[in-house]
Amino acid sequence: MTRLLFATLLCAVTSLQAAAQNRVSQALLDLSEDERNRAFMDMLGEGEVKCDRVIHTLFNGSTSDLDVWEALCRDRNSYSLTIPSEPNAEIALVSCRELLATSKMLLNNAGSKIRPTRCRIQRAEHLHRR
């Protein structure tokens, strides 16, 4: 739960930037789309989540030395990943459904009218298919 809360809060304060802040993300950006999808499939596999195959990734911005990515799977599951700058550091992983639910809960408990944090990749994929 702490990891989920951390990922939610981190995504909520992430400011979008055009380039990755750390070397790990820069290396991911330098890959072809197919290579990047395979790399994210490996990362998701280590997290033991449901994903039959990564079909799309999205760099979602940076905060300090943490970069936020999103991955969409062919089975429509989607995930937010927070990648630290150290190559062997643990990657924070949360499903987009959990991210939205936790964000809603935290904002509701605080009495805030701010829109909850959600993954952008599902909306981007929906617009892309039109």
> Per-domain residue ranges for the chain?
2-129
- Return left, alpha or beta for 88; rule: phi > 0 is left, psi -120 to 50 is alpha, else beta: alpha
- Return left, alpha or beta for 18; rule: phi > 0 is left, psi -120 to 50 is alpha, else beta: alpha
Length of the chain: 130
The model's pLDDT over 24-80, given as tens digits with 9 standing for 90+, comes to: 889 999 999 999 999 999 999 887 789 999 999 999 888 877 999 999 999 999 999
The model's pLDDT over 97-106, given as tens digits with 9 standing for 90+, comes to: 999 999 999 9
The model's pLDDT over 91-124, given as tens digits with 9 standing for 90+, comes to: 899 999 999 999 999 999 999 989 988 898 865 4
pTM of the model as a whole = 0.75
Which amino acid is it at 30? Answer: D
pLDDT on residue 87: 77
Rounded to an integer, what distance in angstroms lies between the CA atom of residue 97 and that of residue 88?
Answer: 27
